[in-house]
Amino acid sequence: MSLGFIVGPSGSGKSTTLYRNILNEAKREPDKRFFILVPDQFTMETQRTLCKMSESGGIMNVEVMSFGRLSHRIFEELGIEDLPKLDDTGKNLVLRKVAADHADELSIMGDKINRMGYISGVKSMISEFAQYGLSPENIENIGTKLNNRGRLQEKLKDLSILYKGYKEYIQGNYITIEENIDILIASISKSDILKGSVIGLDGFTGFTPIQEILLKELMIYTERVIVTLTADKKEDLDDIKKEHALFYLSAKTYLNLNKIAKENAIKRNEDIFLSDVPVKRFKDNKVLSHLERNIFRMRTKKEDKSHICDLDTKDIISVSSLPGRKEECEWVCMQIRRLIRERGYAYRDFALICADLPSYDHFLREAFDKHDIPLFLDRNASLLQHPFIVFILGLMGVYNGDFSYDSVMGLIRTGFLPFTDEEADLFSDYIKTYGIRGKKRYERMFVLGASAKGEGEKDIRAEADKLRQRLMDILKPLTEAKKDARSYTKALYEICLKAKADERLYEIADEWSGQNDPDRAKECEQVYAAVIGLFDQIYALLDEKMDAKEYTEILKAGFSELKVGSLPQSVDRVVVGDLERTRLKAVKTLFIIGVNDGIIPKNTTEGGLLSELERYLLKEAGVTLKPTPREKSFEERLYIYMNMTKPSDSLFISCSEKDSAGKSLRPSYLCRSVTELYSKLETEVISKEDEFFFIETRERAKDITSALLRDYVSYNGNGDEKRMGLLLLLASGMDEEFIDKEIKAAFISYEPIPLPEKKAALLYGEKLHTSVTRLELFSKCAYAYFVRYGLRLNGDEEYEFNAMDLGNLYHGILAGYGEMLKEKGLSWGSLSEEETDGYLETALNEFASAYKDSILYDTKRSETFIRRAKDILKRTIKVLSYQVESSGFKPVTFEGEFEGGNKTKIHGRIDRLDIAEKDNKRYIKIIDYKSGDNSFSPADLLYGTNLQLPVYLDAACRNEESSSGKLAIPAALFYYRVNDPIIECGPGESNEEIAKKITSECRVKGLIRGDEEVINLLTGDLSSSESDVCHIKRKKDGSFTANSDVTDPETFDLYLKYASLKTDLIGKDILGGNISVLPLEKGKRNACEYCEYKGMCGFDKNIRGYRYDKVSADDTAAANEMKKIVEENEA
């Protein structure tokens, strides 16, 4: 029944003194029991240390355990019923039920309980209350004492209601970690194991109030309790007022335990103060000893320079800045390999601390694997992204997503369903092609698609239907489940059994083991039990109705709480951990990486049910809770100090200049705190160029050789001499096969090689029959044309209604509407609104019923498209009718097919062809309906990407002359944008004024022949200076403004001639085998932007020979260039 302390700075030998004293006493008194209590993650290392220190190599009457293990030991001795443990997921589920039962009593939290993550916040708060020994009654009483703090009072009242309901629910059924300690406290006095024993506590920086109560019981009922504390001297423990002091936590613990001892008449043993300078760990290392004595210590005077040391710090302490996190991890591995070579270290002599382990995880694994260095990540890994968890959530995703393509294929691709890769591909193609979605569609036989016709031909439809049946058989428990938590849970469990998920997980674990990744293998071995454990909790705790989406959110919350840890799979490895969790023992060299602002110190701003101000108010009221963000920032310095003073030989500190997203980072204050202690220490900035000279492995040497070769080529052999010398040195030590391969890769360049004309003829035919759209694709990129129309590699056809289908819808309905009026001899402007709607409805129904297997009636989304299209087409027909009636041109054909061209035969379809006849001449105008905003561009025509309307108009004139025998004059080519325009209206404008604005906004765009006869026919009687039918506007002198779409007849005819000639030139290029990768670029847009083949061509601007063909000509220059080409061809 006594208390004593062993006090000393880090590295002074506190743990060693405690262990040696206990081992010596244990040897003298073999019948006495000794217990050493340490944090959970420190038990194995402590046992190993004790065995090494013991003369016999074993510890018979000394036990190492954590508080949790101690409770298990005592409960086992006393036969206390071991109730099921309630983990964080279980707490969330219980609180969810309690909140629902007490919803009417909650004044603030009632309407927030169902918000994402809110229950988890309540759980954390209640767990904190329990850890700090606060009961529901305590919380309620505290709330009543807080005057003029209405919101905080209401919060505490709600929390006390939930806390009380939670305690009542789990009473006698479950036990939490916090209650475990309560029961342990009550059991100490009954334990024979503890009576007369000696308890040592090591590795703790402080204790919660509930743990202090436990220590009080241990002091009373055991012979002796010894606690190790980190502090320089006795004075550090006596000053409890300075919470910013480095050893404030130790001083607080010392004061509280002394107070408990005094109140309970517990004898105080003489404390042991280890105050040797230098401390034991650094007796042969003056540089690190100076760091231990001065880091984070308060200085009384600014001018005091006694903390600055002029010792040589080389290879003992370094502070480095590297370009990024990847380079930082690479640099660490190089240093490890160098020190092993130079000092004869083992891997276990190194450790690495990272304050932001999640951000560095991938880079660390990659770098350590590349340098063949074994590593152990000391962390509890989240399972949320594990394939098995993705599979479970995928099952609910299919159910919630009504069997959408993405949800179904996402589930199949997890690899937990009995589908081979080939079967998955076949199923994917089928359901995508025919737009299969919805539970009802999957419950019926697949009937779309042709069955096999010939012997040996695969019956895709039948195969897909077999796979459908297999999928639905597996999903049957879920599709038939009732809408409650237990039914969903049972269904998921049955599916896991059907899919043999446990066997699949062992297969995955074997695969990871084969890839030398034991940590991931262990995760796979543990995840199944963790998930089934969660299912058990949900089934036991949630017996309520809910929909599938609500259940999925509960599952996600549960999965987010699942964590699995692993033990080191080998003794000789580098331990990688974080500042607070990881407990390091004897290491010779320590790396601390990621020492950037915002990481060290950690950004302590955190959400929670209680704000920082509310926590401060509670602290003022005498309520002890977990540290505030401000207090945490002070505590963090103690953890940094303890870690920085762990290595006996060397300390390497590094930071990154940029994060993974390329955002600039600042070094942490810690870098400056270290460098200012040494006159000869500065932050070393390591650039990417410096990295070339850190070569520790053959693989690294190969990587550097490849990089240097690429540099050599980039600078045309005129690079830095030092780097070129390194290249020659490295290359001389590499095998010829590797060097040849790298030289070929470095000097690679693209040279277009055409197809032989005979092969081109086999692909396209002896004479080219094509469309303008295809020729325009060739003008944008010859290679894309070759892949699509030569190799005939088309993307997956999807059974869906998209933007392109909307354009087809407009074309089809407008064509059908025009044909009906033509057949009935009706003019566009002669119909009433009711008649127009009737003809439009008929045209729409005829088109929709025949389009893509009636896809327009297949989904609600498509039906919405139809309704929207009908509204837009009503306005369009109204505007088009006005334009027809205002013009001397009358529509003649709709969607009229034609064949034209000279050497290259062009097939096409003109949306609408209008004719005006005067003086035995026929004036031809064509209109193309577009859902986007199009206009005529001479530059685009020059490069062959805007051929359609000029080619169509030229062909229409030729055909008209041939059929009528009359002179056909090309008058205009127009684009009409089918849309619902937005216009600005002023207050008080009449409906007629608004209608005029809409009509003007819907004017056609394009190119008009600058012939007065044509202008008059197009605009009728142009009473104003500007037409409301097309873009024609006159100046006062009668000439046309620059914004008008009018061009002189000679230029107009030139454009048509050039378009016809360009089709022949393109056709010649195609049949000549041109498949060059030379994508067109205009401004900021290029042909690669939306190209579905850009993953095939290998286009890379960094490789010589690859470039964009830039459209640079303006309209005037384009016209001159076209004139030149036409004249040369005619000559």
Across the chain, which has 1131 residues, the per-10-residue mean pLDDT values are 93 93 92 92 86 86 92 90 78 84 84 76 86 86 78 87 88 81 90 93 90 93 94 80 83 92 93 90 92 84 75 92 92 92 93 90 90 84 84 92 90 92 91 86 84 59 92 93 92 94 90 80 86 89 85 85 71 86 83 91 70 81 78 84 93 93 91 92 83 67 77 66 68 79 80 91 90 93 93 69 68 84 81 83 78 56 73 86 88 86 85 91 92 87 92 92 90 91 82 85 92 88 77 87 92 94 93 93 88 87 86 84 90 74
Same domain, 654 and 711: no
Q: Measured between alpha carbons, how far is 210 from 637 in angstroms, rounded to an integer?
A: 25
Pair (482, 582) in one structural domain: no
258 CB-near residues (< 8 Å, 6+ apart)? 3, 268
What is the number of other CB atoms lying within 10 angstroms of the CB of residue 16? 15
Question: Which position has the token pair 């800045």?
Answer: 321
- Tell me how many domains the chain contains: 5
Q: For position 449, what pLDDT does the model report?
A: 74
Residue 556 pLDDT: 86
Residues 33 and 142 in one domain: no
Q: Omega before 601 cis (within 30°)? A: yes
DSSP state for residue 586 in the 8-state scheme: S
pLDDT at 454 (0 to 100): 47
Q: Which long-range contacts (CB under 8 A, 24 or more apart) does 215-219 make?
A: 215/257, 215/260, 216/260, 216/264, 217/185, 217/188, 217/189, 218/188, 218/194, 219/1, 219/2, 219/3, 219/260, 219/261, 219/264, 219/266
State whether 600 and 686 are in the same domain: yes
Q: Does 657 map to a domain?
A: yes
Residue 12 to residue 46: CA distance in whole angstroms = 17
Contact present, 955 and 906 (Cβ < 8 Å):
yes
Give the CATH number of the domain where residue 29 resides: 3.40.50.300
Judgement on whether residues 468 and 502 belong to the same structural domain of the protein: yes
Co-location of 185 and 247 in the same domain: yes
Q: Is residue 923 situated within a structural domain? A: no
Hey, what are 143's tokens? 């709330």
In a domain, 1004, yes or no: no
Residue 577: enclosing H or E segment and its boundaries? Answer: strand 574-577
Q: What is the pLDDT of residue 1065?
A: 93
Contacts of residue 888, Cβ cutoff 8 Å, sequence gap at least 6: 916, 918, 1016, 1017, 1018, 1020
pTM over 0.85: no
What distances in angstroms separate CA 1015 from CA 768, 888, 1044, one per listed residue?
38, 10, 12
Range of the domain at 437: 382-542
Q: Among residues 174, 190, 207, which one ends one of the domains? A: 174
Omega cis (within 30) before 278: yes
Task: Confirm whether 203 is domain-assigned.
Answer: yes
Record the tokens describing residue 298, joined without a space: 């308060």
Residue 846 to residue 764: CA distance in whole angstroms: 35
Q: Are residues 129 and 191 in the same domain?
A: no
Instruction: Give me Rg for the CA atoms of the chain.
Output: 40
Residue pair 207/259 in contact by the 8 Å Cβ criterion: no
The answer to the question of residue 815 being in a domain is no
User: Phi/psi at 298 (nearest 5 deg)?
Assistant: -75, 140
Give Cβ neighbours of residue 592 (< 8 Å, ≥ 6 apart).
352, 353, 354, 355, 643, 644, 651, 652, 653, 654
* 528 in the same domain as 418: yes
Q: Are residues 417 and 522 in the same domain?
A: yes
What span, in angstroms and rounded, lies between the C-alpha atoms of 150 and 158?
12
Last residue of a domain, one of 114, 142, 174: 174
Q: Are residues 516 and 392 in the same domain?
A: yes
Please, what's the b/e burial string for 852-862 (b: 16 or more CB within 10 A of its CB; e: otherwise)?
A: beebbebbeeb
pLDDT at 715 (0 to 100): 66
Say yes or no: 716 and 731 in one domain.
yes
**487 in any annotated domain:** yes
Query: Does 730 share its domain with 704?
Result: yes
Q: What is the pLDDT of residue 1000?
A: 87
1038: in domain? no
In a domain, 330, yes or no: yes
- Angle of helix 501-514 versus helix 518-541 axis, rounded to 10: 160
